[in-house]
Chain A
Amino acid sequence: MGSKKPLLLGLTALLLALGLSLAFDGGGRWIDRRAYLLGTLVEIEAPDDGAITAAFQEIARVERLTATEGEGELARLNREAQGRPVKVSDELFALLERARRYKELTAGKFDISLGRLVDLWGFGEGATKAPSQVPSAGEIARLLKGREIVLDKAKRMVQLGPNAELDLGGIAKGYAVDRAIQVLKDYGVKAALVNAGGDIRIYGMRPGRFFSRRPFRIAIQHPRDEAKILGIVKLSGDRAIATSGDYERYFIQDGVRYHHILDPATGRPARGCISVTITAPTALEADALATGVFVLGPQRGLELIERLPEVEGIIVDPEGKIYKSSGLADLELRY
Chain B
Amino acid sequence: MIPFRIRLERRLERHWWQTAATPLLSILAALAAGAIFLLIEGFNPLTVYRELFEASFTSRYGITDSLTIAVPLILTGLAAAVAFRMNLFNIGAEGQLYLGAIFGSWAGLAIAADLPTILGVAAVLIAGAVGGALWAAPAAVFKAYFGTSEIITTLMLTFIALFLMRYLIFGSKSYWRDPEVTNFPQGKKIPPTARFELWSDTRLHWGLVAAIGIALLVWAIIRFTSLGFDMNVVGSSQNAARYAGIPVRRTVIVALLMSGALGGLAGATEVAGRAYALDPNGLELGLGFTGIVVAALARYNPFAIILVATFLGGLRNAGVALQGLPGERVPVEVSLMLQGVILLFAIGGEIFSHYRLSMTRLNTVAAA
Q: Do A and B bind each other?
A: no
**B interface residues, Cβ below 8 angstroms from A:** none
